[in-house]
């Protein structure tokens, strides 16, 4: 790979007629700032080695985002599908380069200081979004300022969740307006909304369906009608429908989700959308049967083939996070409360017990049908007996 990086750099400066000294000058000016971005000291690299490493790695990433023809040809010769692996590696926390390094190298490569502030972030996100486990993910209209982005992982995390952040802000503003209105009309009571007991984990998908909950996918068509939704924008309606956007599970899905979870723990910020999403999906998928149900409903695109593997993946990820469903900061707290209220209704409890006792296997269903037919025939025989008694021949 180092040979490819050097060859691509040589080809780039020859084709674009850029002086190599410009890259060295820019990186020399940034060297101290770059070294301070890493927690561990990088004293093992002398100045020249460090600068060369930043230039080669940074230019390789920029050319990859620009889909440089020579670079793509080299990668295809090396291994089929290696571009996807490289994109996933670029999102690993331990592989991050400061974003200002990539941004300045992008300016030097394109020989311009007047690049639009969101041009490079948009270019980077459009390619990195290909490895995100959300079908049809588009580049958001508004991207963070290049100077505010820490690194590529931060760019994708922020841009991926921009819809939820915007909705959370809108909801908060609406709540503030409502509170002001209430304060003007009435004196506030010192009594909040309470929940009976602690919030518990919800049941798995198969058990929830037994209580009458219907799983509905939110596809690209529905998103287009409502406005772009996020993978994490899950909803539970009053008529008992749990609406979940489509999730594509591939070879790299586990390490990508795990990496975003680590990053959210590292940030120590709320809300932790990815961690909370993993907890919810872990609750829903206890076994391969739950995954099979969600797959048949079109919610899970399982490219791994084995439903049990997907369930085990989310179970492991769920054990990895320290997110608590009891916390008020839990993003799906309201959905959990609604689902629990639905399951606690007496009618739904009876429905679940009946399903578990009499409809949990094909033989049980046959037995119930046979008993029903027998009961029906017995009723018919009783009616004929009564009629023959009152109207003898």
pLDDT for the residue 314 = 95
pLDDT for the residue 222 = 54
pLDDT for the residue 192 = 34
The 3-state DSSP class for residue 393 equals coil
pLDDT for the residue 171 = 55
Q: Which residue ranges in the chain fall short of pLDDT 70?
A: 113-116, 135-136, 162-199, 219-229, 269-270, 346-365, 367-368, 386-387, 389-393
pLDDT for the residue 113 = 61
Q: Where are the alpha helices (DSSP H) in the chain?
A: 2-15, 20-35, 47-65, 69-78, 82-90, 99-109, 119-128, 152-160, 162-185, 205-210, 220-226, 253-267, 273-284, 288-296, 307-320, 333-344, 346-358, 362-390
Q: Please say whether the beta carbons of 308 and 291 come within 8 A.
A: yes
The tens digit of pLDDT for each residue in 125-139 reads 888 888 888 766 777
pLDDT for the residue 227 = 47
Q: Which residue, 270, 253, 272, is CA-closest to 262?
A: 272
pLDDT for the residue 78 = 84
Distances from the Cα of 50 to the Cα of 34, 43, 53, 389, angstroms: 10, 10, 5, 105
Strand order in the sheet with 214-218: 214-218, 241-245, 235-236
The tens digit of pLDDT for each residue in 127-183 reads 888 888 876 677 777 777 778 889 999 988 887 776 666 666 655 554 454 444 455
pLDDT for the residue 77 = 87
Strand partners, 247: 300
Cα gap 209→203, rounded to integer Å? 10
């Amino acid at each position: 790979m180092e040979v490819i990086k050097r060859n691509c750099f040589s080809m780039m400066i020859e084709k674009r007629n850029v002086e190599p000294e410009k890259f060295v000058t820019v990186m020399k000016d940034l060297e101290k700032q770059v070294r301070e971005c890493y927690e561990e000291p990088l004293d093992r690299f002398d100045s020249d080695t460090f600068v060369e490493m930043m230039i080669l790695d940074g230019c390789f990433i920029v050319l990859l985002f620009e889909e440089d023809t020579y670079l793509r040809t080299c990668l295809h010769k090396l291994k089929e599908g290696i571009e996807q692996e490289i994109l996933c590696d670029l999102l690993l926390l331990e592989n991050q380069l400061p974003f200002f390094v990539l941004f300045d190298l992008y300016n030097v490569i394109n020989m311009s200081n007047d690049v639009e502030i969101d041009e490079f972030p948009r270019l980077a996100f459009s390619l990195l979004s290909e490895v995100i486990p959300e079908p049809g993910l588009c580049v958001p209209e508004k991207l963070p300022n290049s100077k505010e982005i820490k690194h590529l992982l931060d760019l994708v995390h922020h841009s991926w969740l921009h819809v939820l952040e915007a909705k959370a802000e809108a909801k908060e503003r609406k709540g503030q307006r409502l509170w002001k209105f209430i304060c003007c009309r009435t004196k506030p009571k010192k009594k909040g909304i309470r929940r009976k007991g602690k919030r518990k984990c919800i049941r798995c998908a198969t058990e929830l369906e037994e209580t009458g909950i219907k799983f509905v996918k939110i596809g690209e068509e529905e998103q287009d009608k409502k406005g772009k939704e996020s993978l994490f924008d899950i909803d539970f309606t009053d008529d008992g429908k749990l609406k979940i956007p489509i999730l594509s599970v591939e070879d790299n899905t586990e390490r990508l989700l795990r990496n975003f979870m680590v990053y959210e723990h590292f940030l120590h910020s709320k809300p932790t959308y990815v961690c909370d999403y993993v907890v919810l999906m872990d609750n829903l998928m206890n076994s391969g049967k739950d995954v099979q149900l969600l797959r048949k409903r079109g919610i899970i695109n399982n490219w791994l083939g084995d439903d049990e593997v997907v369930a085990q993946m989310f179970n492991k990820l769920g054990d990895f996070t320290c997110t608590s469903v009891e916390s008020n900061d839990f993003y799906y707290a309201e959905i959990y409360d609604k689902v629990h209220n639905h399951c606690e209704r007496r009618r739904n409890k009876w429905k679940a017990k009946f399903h578990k006792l009499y409809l949990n296997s094909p033989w049980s269903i046959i037995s119930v049908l046979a008993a029903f037919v027998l009961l029906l025939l017995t009723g018919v025989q009783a009616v004929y007996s009564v009629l023959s008694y009152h109207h003898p021949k």
